[in-house]
Chains A and B, each alone.
Chain A
């Protein structure tokens, strides 16, 4: 399979290089001395095996992290594993490929028939998702190098007012929607382009990105994990999956005694206090809460329709973000003004010899995708907002202090705040097994 693909690619490459190919046929110099023409040497690419090793390491790390967070309950072990992961996925593997970016590869594979997504990249996309369905966002706890690096600087976390957090919490979904839209439309991989920390991992030198990283890390001292909570598009996916995870980190190892000691322990404001009375209601009449729910449910199609209309309004803006469209516009403007090659971009376009028809075909494709895509994007944003409202309308059911499954990143900072944990640890220390 692999071989066949390679051959196809080569055939394509040769067909494309048909003219210049003749360049290779040329009279060889006739050396009278016994000079031997050296052969061109190029270094091998690192073996594909490494990508699968990475995938294995990723799976192992997520499973280990889950075990540590759910069973061992050791913040120190989580910390150590997150440092190891930061070093491996960040500084050794240089940040690429990561599950966040893999969203785009998967999208591109679905949108562009000429792109085939490698198996390992699919694996990177899928492994943390699957793990989250079982254990919650243990990937975020520190397997993700972006999470790990932000977690290092959480020194003085402050609480963000709930409504503000709710508004900003929509951003990751916006980002997710845009990333998918722009990938499908051929505008590019925005997640990778605006990956704040990759320049640090590569010891790179793009100043604007380094500044962005600096700002995020600076904010991150007070607002824990700003990228994870208010930007990360993969985090958006994980937060949805985590709500329905089979198991999840708990604050208390046994039973919550409602001592409220953990209330301020969470850097990402993910600890839910027990809801109202034991009945799980807020004390308001059932009828009222039913009405509220019904309204929220009915809001879903309404907001989606409104979102679709709003998205459609943004279509023109999205179209202008495409470099192909910008190039075509510049060419048309030059034609109208009669000044060829005024800009670097148009000059190079002419030099490249690409036809305007080929450019127009790409532009048309981009426009076609955006024509539907911008409405779908708007509808998606509408749906997200509607579901957030619905979430507010559903009465919380927890009867003790529990982590908010969507927001909790399993960092383990709350463990030690819980007196029950101290009981557990004392028990373990005194237990004969640990004396062995």
Chain B
């Protein structure tokens, strides 16, 4: 009888032990564990190309300006206004900031505004606003002043630039730059002529930036990793840029993505992939880095650039919904 009871107790204890072991194993197996990095051969690696030596970084970041854009809106166009303020497009809204970087006005332009630039010499300032296939003119107080004709179904305007007498729209869809006069009359289509032939721009992606400065028109030829100064009839007057994954070159299928011209003719240039903003002098010689990949979220592709006085670089960051501001190290604001 005693023995029988002992066996019983032992059995129950054994069962309880099994139960505890089971529950522990279950808990352990279920507990969230730190996951390992994927093995090297499975992981995409930039092989250190995304590292920028500290001494090459010539800029430091200042307090950014938050933009109240919707979560899905990309901040596609950024430009500085003559009065020291700035304008930014996010989705189909235009945000206008004054010189102290406070948001003074938001208005809708009805369709996604893919690029912005100031119409020179107008007071109050007016903006050229690019939609996918056409340009519009809006005053900064939110009145629509004009709408130009559409470039057609295939058009995919990626950026605009303006001189005193002309407006240039870079159309990635048709792979040309459309030149208008200030009244909206289409003057000509500029394609790239080089080596005696009509080689055209090589635009593998939807990125195609133009800028006007120093009296001439500059455009990127991203498939060939270069920036070109082009005459109105498409002749390449000057070109620079070299294919390389090194810090001073451009790599990937299409780079650079965005350019901006300083008053002295030097360039701020943004690349995707290895997401960085770099400085080149007016001959295209590499100067240094404004901000490297460590400064941006990897999902960012294009950061529209604007450059201000004192060498300040502004970049519209669609991921953070901010205008990032970079100032030269050592220079006072």
Question: Which residues of A are in contact with B by a Cβ distance under 8 Å?
Answer: 18-19, 22-23, 25-27, 29-30, 160-161, 163-168, 170-171, 174, 178, 182, 187, 190, 193-194, 208, 317, 320-323, 325-327, 343-345, 350-351, 353
Contact = CB atoms under 8 A, between A and B. Distances in A.
Contacts of A171: 19, 22
Interface stretch (B23-31, B235-243, B305-313): B23-31
A194 B34 CA distance: 19
A345 B37 CA distance: 9
A351 B31 contact: no
Contacts of A170: 19
A163 B72 contact: no
Majority SS at the chain A contact face: helix
B13 to A, nearest CB: 9
A344 B35 contact: yes
Majority SS at the chain B contact face: loop
A353 B319 contact: yes
Contact of B7 (A25, A161, A178): A161
Interface string B275-305: 0000000000000000000000111000000
A325 B30 CA distance: 13
Given A18-B72, A22-B206, A174-B23, 8 more contacts: A27-B156, A27-B172, A27-B203, A164-B12, A167-B16, A194-B29, A320-B32, A344-B35
Nearest to A209: B29
A150 to B, nearest CB: 17
A161 B16 CA distance: 13
Contacts of B32: 320-323, 325-327
Interface of B: 7-8, 11-12, 14-16, 18-19, 22-23, 26-27, 29-32, 34-37, 72, 74, 132, 156, 172-175, 203-206, 297-299, 318-319
Given A18-B72, A167-B19, A168-B19, A344 B11 contact: no
The CB with the most chain A CB atoms within 10 A, among B32, B37, B203, B318, is that of B32
B171 to A, nearest CB: 9
A322 B8 CA distance: 39
A88 to B, nearest CB: 29
A167 B12 contact: yes
B50 to A, nearest CB: 13
B131 to A, nearest CB: 13
A73 to B, nearest CB: 33
Nearest to A322: B32
Contacts of B19: 167-168, 170-171
Contacts of B27: 317, 321
Given A163-B15, A171-B22, A321 B31 contact: yes
A327 B32 CA distance: 9
A29 B205 CA distance: 9
A382 to B, nearest CB: 16
B8 A163 contact: yes
Contact of A25 (B12, B74, B206): B206
Contacts of B172: 26-27
A23 B299 CA distance: 12
Nearest to B12: A163
Given A26-B205, A353-B297, A167 B74 contact: no
Contact of B30 (A164, A165, A321, A345): A321
Contacts of A22: 74, 206
Contacts of B8: 161, 163
Contacts of A29: 204
A25 B298 CA distance: 21
Contacts of A160: 11
